[in-house]
Structure 1
Amino acid sequence: MVRCMGPLQALILLLLASLASSSLAQSGYRAALTHVDSKGGFTKAELIRRAAHRNRLRATSGYSITSSSSDSSARLYSGQAEYLMELAIGTPPVAFIALADTGSDLTWTQCQPCKLCFPQDTPIYDTSASSSFSPVACSSATCLPIWSRNCSSSPVCRYRYAYGDGAYSTGILGTETITFGSSSTSSAAHGVAFGCGADNGGASYNSTGTVGLGRGTLSLVAQLGAGKFSYCLTDFFNSSLGSPFMFGSLADIAEGDAVLVQSTPLLQNPRIPSRYYVSLEGISLGDARLPIPNDTFALRADGTGGMIVDSGTIFTALDESAFRVVVHHVAAVLGQPVANASSLDSPCFPAPNGERQLPIMPDMVLHFAGGGDTRLDFTGGADMRLHRDNYMYFNEEDSSFCLSIEGTTSGSTSVLGNFQQQNIQMLFDMTVGQMSFRYTDCSKL
């Protein structure tokens, strides 16, 4: 059954947060995000091409309904990540550069002794060198969310995670100290459950592991007792800029800016419980509402459809029928034909007369369901207004104007990607079951 978070569920989350270990009781934490390609010196065209390639690698299984079997070896997680979170792990702390994944829950890093590890630039974390490491027993409640646990074969909690892009990690579950921030302003969370990966493979994207930011109990968000997090992604093409990521009280959007905040309910999909689903009800281009049926993006009872918000996907992906409508109307405004009209890939339009600047375009507005923020008395809906640079880019390689929007096959899950989220502060508050957003210069947060 598809549903919004009810009062009872919100109360349970609050109780869980209050029962969190006192060692995790700090009210807020802050970390920095960097783009996976930030140190590569890539051109704008190369940044787009590399991100699009990563999307294609994940597309086949990233949003599919997963098996409900208790055999996790057959269970795929999205593996959607375009940003690295800079953390430290252990005592004394060693660098932990983790892929920030809002589509999975387990946080893990490569560990010594390593049976098979991918190359990393920093020393591999060694449990024997840390005074704060402790293994997790297979019989403990902490191990229950691990689908692959087999307590008859091992007293220690073992896990295997496989991702849609072919990456995987196998190892044991333990608890450790995770440190946030620089040495001068650091704060630590103790007793955080994580995966100690001795056998790891697939593309690492300059990481040493993954930080799980989904909605499950093993998620770092849940373990910190934070109940909410926010991030603010800086300009995609200025990848050297860091982006802030905040947990708990630090995630709050300032009260003084409340008039600028819009909110929409978070939906729950029992078939894919880690994902952050929202209800997209329509799209406008300028003042014109596009002819897209209201139920196009509905999350169906069988767990298919719907829309997720994902910082790990570059382009927004829309159900094919809606995608075709959007492309048609953008083409009409431009007065240009679509170069790849039959494809579901990001469509491009030839730039006239050697133009190398994007044309003046109306805003594209995503109309989300309202009723999220009662403090604002906002019941008419939440409108995310995307300026031209949040939905179009200039392709230097063939001098064309391109939409940073793709199509998905009819009935598939739609995605709000990170290109559209540039310079919009996104707040996910599970204690009240809503996503809020406001426009801001993310480089100044």
Structure 2
Amino acid sequence: MNYLFPNKASTINDDDPRPTLVGQDGEYIMEYSLGNPMFETYGVIDTGSDFTWLQCLPCIRCFNQGDLDYLHTDFNVGLHAVDCTSPLCIQIVNPSVTEVLCDADNCQCKYMMEYSDGSTSAGDVFHTLLRLQTTPGNYVGFPRFIFGCSRETTGDFSTIASGIIGLGRAPASMISQIYDYIDGKFAYCLVPMGQDAVSEMRFGQIAVISGPGIIYTPMIPQILTSDNYHILMEGITVGDVYVPYLEGDKAVLGTILQANFMVSFDLERKKIGFKKMNFSFLEALDPLY
């Protein structure tokens, strides 16, 4: 439970978020909305990082994000700057955030992140209303969602998204901030790149999978310096050949390596479920209804 970000209790209803995913260039992007007026954008989903950010104007150095608009912080009244002395600013200190800084002039909370490939994002921290799609044209809202407005990026980022959606376990991740509403449950099925089918994220009770062919494995306590999702991997079967895995635990990351699987995370029961999918996405989802 996340006491800094209280939300409504989880219920089984039509309000469970289920935004669609788009796969391109080896990454999957998800639509979400921020602020007032509602600003719609797309971010790359990443279970290996713990902070959500998007590029904002005014910007010192921004990468090309194609046809997507940039969020202008001067013209969205629904954005609220986070004070660097507030618990919300302190909360974003986690392994994925390199530094939390203060602006000496106005005490604006700032962040600086660096990824494993050397790419960086730096900017200001805000909180606002987050909206996630439930059904086409309908959304559920989460108040006081904290995120980063990137003013300067370096390195290699997707040109079909405005930033990163952090789905890790740290307190400032999107999952942690909406934890109570979704009861610690989310799932995704990543359709392989190039297929004419739509992937989908699922949050809440609709993320629970059942039926034949499902394998659940317990999560193990994360390494002290990591907020990733870890399971114990014993081996890999390639055709009829079993290859033992001798490296111990393995982080579960949202990449194309999980394509053709429904992956369900249940953080309340500390387990992760896998279901092999060998057909179209809509057919694969039948057991969920």
Q: TM-score range by the shorter chain?
A: 0.7 to 0.9
Distance 1:288 1:124 in 2: 49
Residue matched to 2:220: 267
Alignment match of 1:237 (pick from 174, 184, 194): 194
Residue in 1 that maps onto 2:24: 36
Give the direction of change, closer, same or farther, for the CA distance of 1:248–1:152 in structure 2 (3 Å limit). Answer: same
Give, as a single letter, the amino acid of the residue that structure 1 aligns with 2:143.
Answer: H
Which secondary structure does the structure 2 equivalent of 1:175 belong to? strand
- Which residue in 2 is equivalent to 1:402? none
Aligned with residue 137 of structure 2, among 181, 184, 187: 184
Q: Relative to total residues, which structure has the larger helix share, 1 or 2?
A: 1
Matched, 1:307 2:263: no
Change beyond 3 A, Cα 1:285–1:208: closer
The whole-number CA distance in structure 2 between the counterparts of 1:26 and 1:137 is: 30
Asked if the contact 2:103–2:110 (Cα under 8 Å) also holds between the matched residues in 1, the reply is: no
Checking the alignment, whether the CA contact within 8 Å between 2:24 and 2:193 is kept in structure 1 is: no
Q: Match for residue 155 of structure 1?
A: 107
Say which SS state the counterpart of residue 129 (structure 1) adopts: coil
1:279 alignment partner in structure 2: 232
Counterpart secondary structure, 1:143? helix
Match of 1:435 among 272, 280, 286: 272
Aligned to 1:165: 117
Q: Does 2:254 align with 1:425?
A: no
Q: Which residue of 2 aligns with 1:202?
A: 155
In 1: Cα distance, 2:61 partner to 2:128 partner: 22
Following the alignment from structure 2 to structure 1, what is the Cα–Cα distance between the partners of residues 173 and 225?
A: 14
| Post-superposition offset of 1:151 | 4.5
Contiguous gaps of at least 5 residues in structure 2: none
Amino acid at match of 1:277: H
Q: Within 2, Cα distance between the matches of 1:130 and 1:222? A: 25
The ranges of structure 1 where at least 4 consecutive aligned residues each deviate by more than 6 angstroms after the TM superposition are none
Q: Which amino acid aligns with 1:124?
A: Y
Structure 2 CA distance for partners of 1:284 and 1:197, relative to 1, 3 Å:
closer
> What displacement does 1:119 show?
1.8
Distance 1:286 1:196, change over 3 A: closer
Is it true that 1:137 corresponds to 2:83 in the alignment?
yes
For 2:6, the aligned partner's letter is S
**Contact 1:95/1:122, CA 8 A, preserved across alignment:** no
Normalising by structure 2, we get a TM-score of 0.82
Q: Kindly indicate whether structure 1 or structure 2 has the higher relative contact order, using CA contacts under 8 Å at least 6 residues apart.
A: 2
Gaps of 5+ in 1: 1-12, 38-50, 52-81, 299-305, 315-416
Considering fraction of residues, name the structure with more strand: 2
Aligned residue-pair number? 266
Q: Distance in 2 between matches of 1:150 and 1:140?
A: 12
Q: Distance in 1 between matches of 2:174 and 2:6?
A: 13
Amino acid in the other structure paired with 1:274: D
SS across alignment from 1:30: coil
2:205 aligned residue (249, 263, 279) = 249
Deviation at 1:109, TM superposition (A): 0.7
Contact persistence 1:189–1:224 (CA under 8 A): yes
